[in-house]
Chains A and B, each alone.
Chain A
Amino acid sequence: MSRWVIRGIRTGIKTTGYPRDPEHAPGVTPGLPVGDVLGAEAAALAERCPTGALDQKDGYIAVDYRRCVHCYRCVRGVPRPLAWQAGYEWAGLSGEPRAQDRLGGPFRRSIHILVVDAGDCGACLNEVKQLNNAYYNMHRLGFFITPTPRHADVLLVVGPVTDHMHAALKKIHDAMPTPKRVVAVGACALSGGVFAESFVCGRGVSEVLPVDVEVPGNPPPPLAILHGLLVAAGRKPAVPLTSAEGGM
């Protein structure tokens, strides 16, 4: 056993400086497209988006980050690609701005998170899993994963909410004590992603539960999910979820 201990110590500290310092390591985020003025080419480019994330008006392209599935079709194989930003602080508040008032308070210190897979493809879940790894180590921020709804403050939902998970998800939410927050993670949870819309999949978690924080990305990188949790805890400001609101 002592060999493992020595091995662990020798590895040194890998943990990111975020949220204290920004993380600049390459490959930590897939990025998101940026809204832009494209003039005559805007309509054709908006047309290329398979999930309707790009909205074109008078030559200006606005991006709805909740719908972006990182297909890169607005940047690859087009004469004038959209600009691309490589950030990760993407989490925004769902619904009315007054939601801001309800956050914070008892959630500022330690929070327990229940993760529910409501039809996820595995990627969002895998990125949530990374938060427990040495690189992100969310325990240092007072975030803990709990297996039971009775101990949970935050319900983190991934996936578009399939028909078969609908009842389970509602039961889990009902079983959580108040006050509670719902954080929806990933394009599928926010808009149904590429699975919207069919008789077994809707347009995301907000059709089933009141969502507080939305984290765009397909999947959002671990840092974006971390930002979402910090927003839910009232420890980081939220950002707009569309470029039309002046986001990013």
Chain B
Amino acid sequence: MNGVELKDRIEDGWPGRARCRFDAARRVNEVTCERAALADVCRRIFHEWDFSFAGLIVEEGPDAWRLRYVFYGERDAGWVHVLVAAPLAENAFPSVVVEAGIYAADWHEREAEDLFGVRFEGHPRLGDFVLHDDAWQESVEPMRRGFDAVAAMRNRRPDADWRPQRILQEPGAFVMPIGPKFSGVTESVHFLLETVGEDVIRSSTRLFYKWRAVEKLAEGKTPDEVLLLAERFAATTAFAHGLAYCQAVESIAGADVPARACVLRVFLAELERLRQHAGAIQEICESTALVVATSQAGILEEELLRVSGNLAGHRYLFGLLTPGGLACDLPTGACREALGAARAVLARMRSLDDELRISSSFLDRIEEVGVIFPQVARAYSLVGPVARASAFVRDLRRVQPYSGYESYEFDVPSEEEGDGYARLRVLFAEARQSMRIMEQAVDALREGEIRAPVNLRGGAALGAVEAPRGAAFHWVRLDDGGRVSRYHIITPSFVNWHSFHLAAEKFAFQDFPIILSTFDLSVAENDR
């Protein structure tokens, strides 16, 4: 089914209640529908037409709420944005989690409720999420236009009696709290593991200890200033997020990124993926206490950081991107040199892969633990290596290509089992594919411009990039003065954290850190 056929189906399905506008250039079907039809439209898009749910974007207009439910499908199907509006006074919407059975929207609705005060009728678990109830009262709505931070701080009434929900009621059941500070070098996050003894029966993750309100900070800033935030809110995948943000701004401005910049962007994005996957592999080895493998993977990660630093000046590729292209050119010779160095690292990564595959004590610990079933991956619209290890294969580079990815030859590795080992195999396989893409990119480099002029104007657009951890979406709205008036970031970690508890439950305590490491989740990316 292509975009045009989809348009017809939607208009035939809900005559007069849903209008559809197809933007052929962006391959987006924009469906404007009544609140009463919202759940039904979303249900068919997700369940019948097999789209993934990308996210929910809430915008507060001068006199109306505008909610945008973003879906993406296979290559031909493109994107669907379902739009619903309501006057500011009427802030209640049907919950698509309950009404349409889209579990993937669960956390998106919770976030919107917590930050904007928009209610989602029937949603079973609203409240304590981004803003912790033991730190802020429920009535604080920081993303509202008129939010007064000074007054909010002055009238702060944290709920001192707040306690996390406890589900397990069996005799002898207890909660094991972990974090926010735990273990050696880890990000701050809080786990509540409910148990009656050996196994984690129920696990819930409390996030947003690191909430920096990046989206609020961005409001009123120039696109160049917001770029700094886009790169730095989750800097282990700085380039991917910077790229998604730049794509959004370029889309609004109608800027055409020059060919050389596109190729360099692909090269750098894949270098980042390779490096991040090496880091993830190191974490997995470390969680199983396989010391030599940890050390070997650590060497690979550091060497790739040095390759990045030597090529681009910065080990995490800061400061290269700019709306319209790249801030500076990278000499083709330097790229070729970086490619050679990365190739040598990859050869050793392959040999590490071979060795791990025959290390039975290692395999015992990651095989058949932390299983995510394919139907769960689909129901939660999971992304990245986590989804692909559970046979849910939707890579934005393939299904909604950007930056010229359609002209590269590469495979999208996937596995069926959905366990820790499947995720590890996907990481190794993707690293090899990244190298394939980098080889082609260097061969495709031609001399030329690296930056196109960007004429900022009012408008809004979505940038979408397959970041190392999965699909990342950056929604940017510019006002007529060219300043950012709304910035919303949907990250792969936000999406995948949502499903993490399902993998952690029913396994023994000692499996918990291993399952966690195989998910390669970033807290910073989730918390923003």
Contacts and interface: CB of A to CB of B under 8 A. Distances in A.
Interface of A: 1, 3-5, 7-8, 11, 14, 25-31, 50, 69-73, 76-77, 114-123, 125-130, 132-136, 145-147, 159-160, 162-165, 168, 172, 193-195, 198-201, 218-219, 221-222
A200 B213 contact: yes
B279 interface: yes
A226 B313 CA distance: 20
A135 B302 contact: yes
Contact of B299 (A134, A172, A222): A134
A117 B189 CA distance: 10
Contacts of B311: 27
Contacts of B116: none
B314 to A, nearest CB: 5
Contact of B298 (A69, A133, A162, A172): A133
A201 B301 CA distance: 31
Contacts of A120: 187, 210, 524
A200 B298 contact: no
A27 B306 contact: yes
Contacts, number: 193
Contact of B185 (A1, A70, A145, A168): A145
Interface in B288-335: 290, 292-293, 295-296, 298-299, 301-302, 305-311, 313-316, 318-319, 327-328
A164 B295 contact: no
Given A135-B302, A162-B212, A218 B183 contact: no
Given A4-B293, A50-B228, A122-B187, A134 B316 contact: no
A199 B213 contact: yes
Nearest to A199: B149
B135 A163 contact: yes
What 9 A-B pairs have minimum CB-CB distances, sorted nearest first? A27-B309, A27-B306, A133-B298, A27-B310, A199-B149, A123-B235, A72-B319, A26-B310, A121-B235
B236 A126 contact: yes
A128 B185 contact: yes
Contacts of A159: 210
A160 B210 CA distance: 9
A181 B301 CA distance: 30
B209 A164 contact: yes
A70 B314 contact: yes
A122 B525 contact: yes
Interface of B: 132, 135, 142, 149-150, 152-153, 180-188, 208-214, 216-217, 224-225, 228-229, 232-236, 238, 279, 290, 292-293, 295-296, 298-299, 301-302, 305-311, 313-316, 318-319, 327-328, 355, 359, 361, 522-525, 527
18 contacts: A4-B292, A11-B299, A26-B310, A27-B307, A70-B319, A76-B327, A117-B210, A118-B210, A119-B209, A123-B316, A130-B298, A162-B209, A164-B135, A165-B180, A165-B209, A168-B180, A199-B152, A219-B315
Given A3-B355, A115-B184, A126-B279, A162 B211 contact: yes
A73 B212 CA distance: 24
A77 B211 contact: no
A126 B180 CA distance: 17
B236 A123 contact: yes
Contacts of A29: 309
Contact of A122 (B181, B236, B296): B236
B309 A218 contact: no
Given A164-B135, A199-B149, A218 B232 contact: yes
A31 B313 contact: yes
A48 to B, nearest CB: 10
A77 B301 contact: no
Nearest to A169: B181
A30 B234 contact: no
Contacts of A3: 355
Contacts of B308: 27
Contact of B313 (A30, A160, A195): A30
Contacts of B314: 30, 70, 72
Contacts of B315: 27, 30, 127, 219, 221
